[in-house]
Amino acid sequence: MPSQLIDKFNRKITYVRLSVTDRCDFRCVYCMGDKMTFLPRVQLLTLEELEWLGCAFIELGVTKIRITGGEPLIRTNILRLFQGLGKLKGLKELVLTTNASQLVKMAQPLKEAGVKRINISLDTLKAARFQKMTRTDKLEKVLRGIDAAIQAGFKRIKINAVVLKNRNHDEVIDLVRFAVDKGIDISFIEEMPLGEIGEHDRAEAFYASTQIRQDIETSFTLLPSLETTAGPSRYYKVIGTETRVGFISPHSHNFCDSCNRVRVTTDGLMLLCLGQEHSVDLRRIIRANPGNLIPLKQAIVNAMAFKPKSHEFDFDEQPKILRYMNVTGG
């Protein structure tokens, strides 16, 4: 059994994203349809199975695990998973992506459980827009959640904003100013064609990262950051501040050459690429071999042979990937 996962393009896999629930208290228009059917609970990996999976990946050289969803913090007893993973030797970074709606009460316990960094989704600072984009009215709660996370003292906090033309593209400067004022980072994300959403035409709503950067540069000076994160974001430092601005550009910049990650969906499917369907059913293997890590590790190792070289996103009439982002784990 190798101690490091390496795929056939010689990319080391050191990062796993676990989607712990497909449910969410929001219904963001780029992520979900307004009428969603969620998975029956028996299909979800249990918290124990998720921790077991974490052990297998860490023994195979994974050093970073991101917990995501759906909204991970609304899963019952989710703190137990953070506490369990936080104790595993070999895990250097336990990180989280959240919509912040639960952070007022959970920021401190998450920090104590060993979470190092948090990514928080926030696309707009305007209540009416927030209502339209998330189909909830929880902007105030989210803003209080962000403050609670800052108060708890995480090593790094980053806002993630999906930018849609004619929805929130005119707010990118205000969002950078918000991040600068709070002393945190921000990344802007191009919308990806995952799942059939119906609410808007994704091609029409496309707003390129290069355009966002130009918009921001009318008010701030950006200097390319020398730090590399081996992630899809390209970072710039906002001169004279502590803030970094990142751009995640799946359409305009292909970041697959340096891909170091795999994802596990809510129901235990390991996805080898966000934009392709290659997968392995790890839940079946876990449940068929209780208490035995070896078949699970072997299945993960074998899957490295078919990790695709790259994603291919385009604006076909029908989305090629029918999975919604909440199942996949963004």
Q: Please report, as ranges, the residues that interact with ligand SAM according to CB under 6 A.
A: 24, 30-31, 68-69, 71, 97-99, 121, 160, 162, 189, 191-192, 194, 325-326, 330
Residue 119 lies near ligand SF4 (rule: CB under 6 A)? no
* Residue 191 binds: one of ligand SAM, ligand SF4, none (C-beta under 5 to 8 A by kind): ligand SAM
Contact present, 47 and 80 (Cβ < 8 Å) = yes
Among 26, 130, 154, 207, binds ligand SF4 (CB under 6 A): 26
Whichever of 154 and 324 has its CB closer to ligand SF4, that residue is 324
Residue 209 lies near ligand SF4 (rule: CB under 6 A)? no
Whichever of 250 and 296 has its CB closer to ligand SAM, that residue is 250
Among 28, 73, 184, 256, binds ligand SF4 (CB under 6 A): 28
Whichever of 32 and 172 has its CB closer to ligand SF4, that residue is 32
Cα angle value 205/211/215 (rounded, 5°):
115
Whichever of 188 and 285 has its CB closer to ligand SAM, that residue is 188
Report how many residues bind ligand SF4 under the rule CB under 6 A: 13
* Residue 62 binds: one of ligand SF4, ligand SAM, none (C-beta under 5 to 8 A by kind): none
Residue 253 lies near ligand SF4 (rule: CB under 6 A)? no
3-state secondary structure the chain: CCCCEECCCCCEECEEEEECCCCCCCCCCCCCCCCCCCCCHHHCCCHHHHHHHHHHHHHCCCCEEEEECCCHHHCCCHHHHHHHHHCCCCCCEEEEEECCCCHHHHHHHHHHHCEEEEEEECCCCCHHHHHHHHCCCCHHHHHHHHHHHHHHCCCEEEEEEEECCCCCHHHHHHHHHHHHHHCCEEEEEECCCECCCCCCCHHHHCCCHHHHHHHHCCCCCEEECCCCCCCCEEEEEECCCCCEEEEECCCCCCCHHHCCEEEECCCCEEECCCCCCCEEEHHHHHHHCCCCHHHHHHHHHHHHHHCCCCCCCCCCCCCCECCCHHHHCC
Whichever of 139 and 194 has its CB closer to ligand SAM, that residue is 194
Among 7, 71, 185, 191, binds ligand SF4 (CB under 6 A): 71
Contact present, 129 and 98 (Cβ < 8 Å) = no
Q: Which amino acid does the sequence have at 165?
A: K
Among 12, 27, 126, 132, binds ligand SF4 (CB under 6 A): 27
Shortest reach from residue 76's CB to ligand SF4, in Å: 17
Beta bridge partners of 235: 246
- Residues from 280 through 299 that contact ligand SF4 (CB under 6 A): none
Shortest reach from residue 284's CB to ligand SF4, in Å: 25
Residue 121 lies near ligand SF4 (rule: CB under 6 A)? yes
Provide the pairing of β-strand 156-163 with 185-190: parallel
- Residues from 31 through 60 that contact ligand SF4 (CB under 6 A): 31-32
Closest CA to 328 of 28, 70, 49: 70
* Residue 7 binds: one of ligand SAM, ligand SF4, none (C-beta under 5 to 8 A by kind): none
* Residue 27 binds: one of ligand SAM, ligand SF4, none (C-beta under 5 to 8 A by kind): ligand SF4
Whichever of 33 and 61 has its CB closer to ligand SF4, that residue is 33
Interface positions with ligand SF4 (CB under 6 A):
24, 26-28, 31-32, 69-71, 99, 121, 325-326
